Amino acid sequence: MEALTIPNLEPRIMEGLRILAEAHGRSLEDEARVILCQAARGLTEADDFLASIVGEPGSGKPKHAKT
């Protein structure tokens, strides 16, 4: 399993993360993991949505175009 270190986070970001972790009953690391996973899933969903509108990369035509 890979590890990630994020140096130099602003103190208010760390405090917000601590507050969220406490509110959700999670450790700081678990809270950060959940947030990162949600963000990554959101990016994937956005990519899928965009591809449905403009087409797959390299296809030259939108998915919704008539063939």
Task: Report if residue 39 sits inside a domain.
Answer: yes
Task: Report if residue 35 sits inside a domain.
Answer: yes
**Residue-wise pLDDT tens digits, 6-50:** 999 999 999 999 999 999 999 999 999 999 998 888 888 778 877
Domain that holds residue 31: 20-49
CA angle 31, 36, 42 (to 5 degrees): 130
Task: Report if residue 42 sits inside a domain.
Answer: yes
More reliable by pLDDT, 13 or 51: 13
pLDDT reported for residue 46: 78
Task: Report if residue 57 sits inside a domain.
Answer: no
Task: Report if residue 9 sits inside a domain.
Answer: no
What predicted TM-score, i.e. pTM, was given to this entire model?
0.64
What residues contact 34, with CB distance under 8 A and at least 6 apart? Answer: 24, 26
Task: Report if residue 29 sits inside a domain.
Answer: yes
pLDDT reported for residue 1: 79
